Amino acid sequence: MRTKPSHPYPTPEIEELFQAIREIHSDEEAANFFRDLLTLPELNEFANRWQIVKRLVQKHAYLDIAHELNVSTTTVSRVAHWLKNGAGGYEAIASRLFSNR
């Protein structure tokens, strides 16, 4: 069952951000855009979440993931929740990138 947000999503401002992201044409543009948009700690947090998704898809144990990435098991559980019960975004992209690995 997919989680339904309690507030309007996406907002018009978020839609504009998504439109801007769709205009990215290269890895270099993506790196530069996200570096300008986010702080390094924010980028690292998002990258860490994505590494959690990757390891969950690869069936790593929660404790192993927490240890490898130096995060709490609560963080791993939270990401696992959104992987299984979110809007399907993690699942869609992970299936494309990690399905044969």
What is the residue extent of each domain of the chain?
Answer: 9-38, 45-101
| pLDDT average, residue stretch 19-45 | 97
Q: How far is CA 76 from CA 13, 16, 22, 72, in A?
A: 29, 30, 29, 7
Cα dihedral: 28, 30, 36, 42 (round 10): -120
Q: What is the pTM of this model?
A: 0.85
Give the closest residue to 4 by CA, choosing from 91, 90, 85, 74.
Answer: 85
User: What is the sign of the dihedral through the CA atoms of 64, 65, 66 and 69?
Assistant: positive
Rounded to an integer, what distance in angstroms lies between the CA atom of residue 17 and that of residue 55? 28
Task: Give the pLDDT score at 1.
Answer: 55
**CB-facing half-sphere around the CA of 95: CA atoms within 13 A:** 7
pLDDT score of 90 more than 90:
yes
Task: Give the pLDDT score at 101.
Answer: 47
pLDDT in tens, 36-79: 999 999 999 999 999 999 999 999 999 999 999 999 999 999 99
pLDDT score of 35 more than 70:
yes
Determine what percent of the chain is predicted with pLDDT higher than 90. Answer: 88
